[in-house]
Structure 1
């Protein structure tokens, strides 16, 4: 019969092996990286411009006019409202993104300039689109097939200081965003990426987007182009976008012209004659600081890894020590003790 010390050593050896196995498997079963949670406290990103320029195509029909002759200056707010939900798993989720542009000096339907609702699947770690998308951009009509390419809601976890393709919902394609610098925001480091638009044609990937223009003349056809830039500020560990700055001008240019005159959305577009470029909108706005700070706090929480890697190391080392010590005791040769009479007979 085995002595109690050896039985205890064998049991302890089994415990050490279990700790060793759990320590090795823990980081694999529970990855340290936290995916973007389905329940976010901050689900909205806004940009505000108190002096946006709104062109005749948006103003047509106001006050009974067939078309307003000149752009107007008004406060405009762009909003990206995001929700993640089912079907979802540890790596992906269904995403719904509502994009609106609203005038601050109007009420009700008159205030709405543009509205879209996108649905697609998103990778909860990389922020990339997974599969087909649908978009509803016309009231009282069903959603149509679309495509979300590149990053949009977020950058990948552990964002690098490199170029990333970032989706633009008007162009409906990705445009490269270059890393330009780091910034300190309330003691936290964020990465700044800049996306440039140089006379980018909207018709190429979004041929259905068109508003009636007043400057092309009878039978004239014009094409919409996007100019300007966007800057994204990203918390690098989580990849979450915490603020956006835009300086964007969207201009209709009659086909057959070079589109250079008035393409910057300046006052030169006001009252343009037939055949000249016509401003659709000029927006120079940014995310309010209070909202940026809230988004940054949320991003930093998401960016903190689970302690599974550290616990895995602790359990592995502890299990190895316990197993090794127990094995030494369990496998140690047992001393044979001879009885008293036998010793006397010698």
Structure 2
């Protein structure tokens, strides 16, 4: 007789293979996929709005012969950030257009400052990859090359409780941004950082006529009558920002800005701008949403999917091994060629003469054999 081979255990092998695959996925995904996910998106299009009130110099009053400082002026600062070229898998170039307006005046009379900043940064660390960026502070003049040396629009993924360099577009240099505390905004844990910028002589930063002016003392409102007094424009700031550490998203920002004319940096004579301006509620909510979206994506790849893959993989592997070894332990009788010998007793193997044998639904009766060699009896 032909050999009958045992069928291959397909299902157990498939379960074992699936289990091993899922366990490998659970191990590699947090390290490989999370690193690829923790990069600044290349489709940035973010608008933030900051509001506040403060004192503002009426610039037209200088030409009228007497400096006029307006009090309790409503202010709004708007910044629009987009992704530009060149940008690739490791680097992103962003362009930010910023304006500061007083909302109690219309059109150009209400515009206080406007600039366009452009910088390329590492998509993971958020640090500039090329020290040269550009700033355009005057609409009628081309952008100037300005070295960018610190963070600006975002913190690195996995921000730490430490000091970072943070670039200021007015002073055009970086200053320390120091960690203050861990706190919460609308239930989301954030890191609070602060930056203090001591008075900066803006005439040494940008060569503009308005950064150093010689006007009569009476115009400045200081003693001296018609004697020309040269005043220098200074800038100082205290900046507080709140960062979601896993994504590096700046969810809230506030600045106490002070620009003034003075003969000495430590003694302001005429305020140009003195105001505290911070993200409005809509901007905070939008940034919180971006941070939570990023956290969910990172958690899905680094935690949720690996845990599910590990559990399902382990179960699949154990079930597959159990079925495989259970089949082997149970065993299958081997089939040999040649006549089959019965171990049943003779009495069970051959029915007695005259005994009925049952073959399923048919019943047969054994008939006595007749000796054909003997002639029939007459």
| 2:34 alignment partner, SS class | coil
**How many angstroms does 1:169 deviate by?**
0.8
Contact 2:122–2:128 at 8 Å: present in 1 too? yes
**How many angstroms does 1:197 deviate by?**
2.1
**TM-score, reference length from structure 1:** 0.76
Q: Residue deviations 1:234-256, cap 9 Å, x none?
A: 223322222222222122334xx
Which position in structure 2 is the counterpart of 1:125?
124
Q: Residue deviations 1:154-191, cap 9 Å, x none?
A: 22223222222211110111111222233433333332
Contact 1:156–1:239 at 8 Å: present in 2 too? yes
Which position in structure 1 is the counterpart of 2:51?
48
**How many angstroms does 1:85 deviate by?**
4.5
**How many angstroms does 1:286 deviate by?**
2.1
C-alpha separation between the residues in 2 aligned to 1:210 and 1:327? 83
Deviates more, 1:15-24 or 1:99-108: 15-24
| 1:152 alignment partner, SS class | coil
**How many angstroms does 1:96 deviate by?**
1.0
Aligned pair 1:234/2:236, yes or no? no
Uncovered stretches (5+) of structure 1, i.e. residues with no partner: 263-268, 270-277
Which position in structure 2 is the counterpart of 1:145?
145
Which position in structure 2 is the counterpart of 1:337?
334
Deviates more, 1:5-14 or 1:125-134: 5-14
**TM-score, reference length from structure 2:** 0.71
Q: Residue deviations 1:186-215, cap 9 Å, x none?
A: 3333322121122234355x2335515244
Which position in structure 2 is the counterpart of 1:266?
none
| 2:68 alignment partner, SS class | coil
C-alpha separation between the residues in 1 aligned to 2:9 and 2:34? 38
Which position in structure 2 is the counterpart of 1:253?
262
Contact 2:101–2:113 at 8 Å: present in 1 too? yes
Which position in structure 1 is the counterpart of 2:220?
none
Aligned pair 1:288/2:280, yes or no? yes
**How many angstroms does 1:38 deviate by?**
4.0
C-alpha separation between the residues in 2 aligned to 1:241 and 1:169? 17
C-alpha separation between the residues in 2 aligned to 1:188 and 1:25? 29
**How many angstroms does 1:95 deviate by?**
0.7
Deviates more, 1:130-139 or 1:79-88: 79-88
Report the structure number with the largest CA radius of gyration: 2
CA RMSD, 1 decimal: 3.5
| 2:213 alignment partner, SS class | coil
Uncovered stretches (5+) of structure 2, i.e. residues with no partner: 218-226, 343-378
Aligned pair 1:26/2:29, yes or no? yes
Deviates more, 1:25-34 or 1:142-151: 25-34
**How many angstroms does 1:103 deviate by?**
1.8
Contact 1:171–1:202 at 8 Å: present in 2 too? yes
Contact 1:34–1:306 at 8 Å: present in 2 too? no
